[in-house]
Structure formats: C-alpha cells, structure tokens
Amino acid sequence: MSENNIRKIEFAVTAEDDGKTVGEFLRKSGASRRLITKLKRCSGGITLNGEPARTVDIVHKGDTAAVKMQSGEPLDVNPDLRAPVVYEDDDVAVYDKPVDMPVHPSHRHRFDTLGNLFSAQHGDMTFRPINRLDKDTSGLCAVAKNSFAAARLSGSIEKTYFAVVCGKLSGSGRIDAPIGRYAGSVITREVRADGQRAVTNYTVIDGNEKYTLVRIKLETGRTHQIRVHFSHIGHPLAGDDMYGGDISDTAFQALHCGELEFALPVSGKQIHLSSPIREDMLRLIRK
C-alpha cells in the first residue's frame, strides 16, 4: 500500500465491545461490510494493537483496532476552477459550489466540474460527493475523502435549500407527490402515480407579486424533486425553463443549498455550515 493519500482511523475498544470479533466491532464503529471486505485483501488494511488482524479475531477492552485506507481513482485535474472550501478535515471537504458548475464529469462536461477541482487539490483521492447538486443549483456540497467517511455520511446529512419560485405563495406547506421519469426522457422527471414517494416541506420567507423566496426541507431525495414539486403546484422555480419557470429575470434556476448539518464520521461531532443566498436570487424578490 503506497503511503500517498492514506487515511488511518483508530477505534478504542470499550468494555461494551469486549469479546466481539474484529469484524463485528468495525461494523459497529461505522465501517461498511464492503469496506471491511476490501481491507481484508490489503496488507495492513486491518490491524489490532498495531498488528495485522483477521475479522474473526477477538477484541478486548483497551485494545485498539484500526483501518487503513488508500484512495486512488482520480479524475482529470483542472486547477483553474474555483469553488470556496467552507470546511475541511481528514475525512470530508465541503465546497460552496457556484452556479453553472456540474458536480461530476459527464460526456458533455469532462473538465469543468467540482470533481475536476477536487482532484486538482487532493492528488489521487477518489471523488465521492455525498449530496449532489444540479449544474445550475449553487451551494454547499460535501465530498467524502475515503470510503469510511462516504458510508458514514451517506443519507445522514441534513440539507436546507432556498428557492425563488414564480408567483405569490404564503405561509408554509407540504408537497407529497410521487416522482418518476418522464416518458421518453432520460433526464426530465414528473409527478406520476407510479413514481417513488417524494415529500417536500417549505416555508415562505419573503416575496412580491411575481416571485416568492422559500426555505425548503426534504423528507426524500428524488432527482429534481424541488424543481418538479414546485412546478406541480403551479409555482416553478424562477429561471428553470425545463419545468416551466420564468427565465425573463434570471439566467439560472433560483435554487441554493444554503445549510448542511452532519456528524463527523469519526468523532461524531455535529457540524453546521451555511452559505448566503445568491444575490441574483435576492434581487428577484426586491423588484
């Protein structure tokens, strides 16, 4: 195992876990079965008190079990890209992604993505985005630096979005409508009876006769969920022409991931991050 981009995480065995196998203890500590299986094939991937260990070995109070991981599937690098880093440690980096930047490369976007920037900053680390944002959605995007962190963070990040929707809304609401793929399209989604359940909660913050700024919390995470749901209730996002939004006042969809809250993968410490709503979105409700 090369010494480049290696992350070693140690776990102290307490009386509660005395007598468990190494495999059982690591799974309880947050390591996925997939990661443990992968590390079993690596020399020194799993250790107990500094010595190579098998998953069937027994741990005792006072022991230290450790996993040693190497990340090594980089994307093409592009150091000319810019996205502020709002938080970073050995396991996770959180970027404030600008509008008009895809998160992951595709056949149409090979070198202009957050992944290309991450690879330029972190050598041969694998790019593992946890909350993926659409190209024209701005805001906070968490990236795990190793497979342990990815498993711990996946599905556990609390996200708050802010959107400017067309028309006048008041109060708060809950949209509970299933979402599925639009017939004949790979990308477009729609509300349909045979879709997956999707629930969006919103609270109005401010607005005028033409636009409304809303704060959004999701109970599910379907593709294009916010965009589809607000279009479904007759208030599509400003700038979102795919789902019927008015594009006369903005060139980009008015959607921003403004808050993230999560527990750090190893220590469990709660982290709360915020990013200010884009100025071009705020201008819409001042008109």
Please answer whether residues 130 and 154 qualify as being in contact, where contact means their C-beta atoms are separated by less than 8 angstroms.
yes
CA dihedral (53, 55, 58, 60) positive or negative: positive
The size of the chain, in residues, is 287
Cβ-based burial of 237 (10 A; exposed 0-12, middle 13-18, buried ≥19): buried
Catalytic residue among 134, 240, 241, 249: 134
Q: Which residues pair with 97 in a beta bridge?
A: 139
Is the Cβ–Cβ distance between 105 and 119 less than 8 Å?
no
Rounded (5°) CA angle 242-278-213? 70
134 part of the active site = yes
Residue 43 and residue 1 in contact, taking contact as beta carbons nearer than 8 Å:
yes
CB neighbours (10 Å) of residue 41? 7
Say how far apart CA 215 and CA 204 lie, in whole Å: 6
Residue 96 CB-half CA count within 13 A: 12
Which residues are tagged catalytic? 134
